[in-house]
Structure 1
Amino acid sequence: MTVAQQTNPRSYPDATPRKVAFLGLGVMGWPMAGHLALAGHTVTVFNRTAAKAQAWAQAFAATGRAHHASTPREAAQGADIVLMCVGNDDDVRSVVLGPDGALAGMQSGSILIDHTTASAQLARELYATAQQQGVAFVDAPVSGGQAGAQNGQLTIMCGGDEAAFATAEPVMACFGRAVTLMGPSGSGQLTKMVNQICIAGLVQGLSEAVAFGQKAGLDMDKALQVIGKGAAQSWQLDNRGSTMVRDEFNFGFAVDWMRKDLGLVLQEAQRNGARLPVTALVDQFYADVQAQGGGRWDTSSLIARLR
């Protein structure tokens, strides 16, 4: 596997070279870690499937800064900054806590950054736990999908202390086009929830529009081009409208992941009293898509239940 297959090199910000660790090499983590190595940072990676960590180190060996470790603790030892991008709250806990977890290997004054889309409550818990051993914690979920990770163009929403953010921001900028501190611990995850609420409504509306236009006999590629020049324009329309017309769903952000994210949103809404009737409905529509066997389809597959 070559660097170009998973990571598209770009111009990187000038920053002090750091010793970093990256935990989790999925479709997002692999290129994110790659950008760090290409930008001049020394990177040690960990992945639960050890062969994947070894493959990453081989793919980026030409940088002279790519290494792999057998445990999160080993990867984190001596690192200035430890970053991770895994699946859910339980996955985060498994790589951070315990005798082989990242915190066990981190030194006082280092920074732990979580790019996983997880709960705000977990972010607050890890912030407090990290503080006890002099480690800063920043929750930093991302938006932009696999393409954003590969191109180093992610939007990163952060929660934590200003000092830790100021140190970590130039490192995150290696794979982010916009890196913003939203407030105290948990604020990054809450902002990502706002993002997912917006996307859920937009994709459902676009699905209904495309299905309606096709039933009406319109040339939907042409119709989307027209309305995309007006008030209906959105990223979803520009990037998913035409593929929805052709029932192409084998790319992008999977339905299973979206349902996990919307579950976090609805749990937080129960806690804070927010009313989310449309989000709850769209979550159930995604459950219908899962029942059709579309759990790994792109989120734009909402239109499949309207056929």
Structure 2
Amino acid sequence: MAKLAFLGLGVMGGPMARHLAAKGHDVTVYNRTPARAAAWVAAHGQRSAATPAEAARGAEVVLACVGNDDDLRQVCTGPDGAFSAMSAGTLFIDHTTVSAQVTHQVAAIASAKGIGYVDAPVSGGQAGAENGALSIMCGGSETDYARAEPVMAAYARICRRIGDSGAGQLAKMMNQICIAGLMQGLSEALAFGQKAGLDGEAVVEVISQGAAGSWQMVNRHKTMLKDEFDFGFAVDWMRKDLAICLKTAEEIGASLPVTALVDQFYKDVQLMGGGRNDTSSLIRRLR
């Protein structure tokens, strides 16, 4: 059992921190909105802190799952950031989906302080976090990853080191690129079937068992057919992730024509007022 700090208690971070506490770890939590941290402590015990530095003080491992590049910089290197209270030999695990560029920057600051650093973005959505069944792709040294893996096992279905610092974030970009294309294809297929007068659920029962099957098809087709999207991974966050993908593609000379197109389709959904809807709401623009 370890003394841990967890920074960020959103729809992903909250359940992940809960799994750590359930495994017997000593967990101190921090959230930008104190009321959310207080609610988490009331539900799961442990304790909360007023700042990232306070949460990190004395912790062997500090984990974060915040919003974006700026949020990560703030909780790590801001005036009350975790790094100011972490000692040499401790470890920082970042579950936020951010750019590889900021990962390199923050990891270098950590290294200069003798702090280990693993970038470890996750896939599996809110359900994966709730059920402790996330896929985690990691970047960092083999030594740091070996220390991080037993901690992350509390909520991982699979956890793998992909390469050095930043490799986890690049792998997560691949994940989001795949989801964007899959979701557009699924949206078109379901909208097509509805226009043709077919029973969408009956069709999916068959085709999901063949070459067209995917996690998105199995887990999202029913709510898509019912026009229900008030859950899951928000369109606003998907566009944040796709912006990272597209910027990185430009930097490395990769071509992402379908991803760029689907990103604009998600912009349409935002303009329709669906920024907080699940990414499966892409089908709305086809109706």
TM-score range, shorter chain: over 0.9
Question: Which of 6, 9, 12 in structure 2 is aligned with 1:28?
Answer: 12
Aligned twin of 1:125: 105
Answering whether residue 193 of structure 2 is matched by residue 209 of structure 1, we say no
Unaligned residue ranges in structure 1 (runs of 5+): 1-16
* Residues 38-57 of structure 1 mapped to structure 2, 5 A cutoff: 38-57=22-41
Residue aligned with 2:96, SS: coil
Task: Give the TM-score, by structure 2 length.
Answer: 0.99
Answering whether residue 54 of structure 2 is matched by residue 74 of structure 1, we say yes
* Alpha-carbon distance in 1 for matches of 2:142, 2:168: 13
* TM superposition shift of 1:99: 2.9
Aligned twin of 1:83: 63
Moved over 6 A (4+): none
Per-residue CA deviations over 1:248-273 (Å, capped at 9, x if unaligned) read: 11111110010000000001001000
* Alpha-carbon distance in 2 for matches of 1:251, 1:257: 13
Which letter maps to 1:20?
Answer: L
* Alpha-carbon distance in 2 for matches of 1:51, 1:303: 35
Aligned twin of 1:8: none
Per-residue CA deviations over 1:158-197 (Å, capped at 9, x if unaligned) read: 0001111101101001011111100000000000000000
* TM superposition shift of 1:278: 0.2
* Alpha-carbon distance in 1 for matches of 2:36, 2:229: 26
Greater CA drift, 42-51 or 194-203 = 42-51
Question: Which of 143, 157, 166 in structure 2 is aligned with 1:177?
Answer: 157
Question: Which of 79, 82, 90 in structure 2 is aligned with 1:102?
Answer: 82
Residue aligned with 1:247, SS: coil
Per-residue CA deviations over 1:196-249 (Å, capped at 9, x if unaligned) read: 000000000000001111111111111111111211111111111121111111
Answering whether residue 44 of structure 2 is matched by residue 60 of structure 1, we say yes
Per-residue CA deviations over 1:105-149 (Å, capped at 9, x if unaligned) read: 001000011100000011111111101110011100000111111
Aligned twin of 1:257: 237
* Alpha-carbon distance in 1 for matches of 2:127, 2:193: 29
Unaligned residue ranges in structure 2 (runs of 5+): none
* Residues 166-245 of structure 1 mapped to structure 2, 5 A cutoff: 166-245=146-225
Aligned twin of 1:6: none
Which letter maps to 1:105?
Answer: A
Residue aligned with 1:179, SS: strand
- The number of equivalent residue pairs is 287
* TM superposition shift of 1:98: 2.7
Aligned twin of 1:305: 285
Task: Give the TM-score, by structure 1 length.
Answer: 0.92
CA RMSD in angstroms, aligned pairs only: 0.7
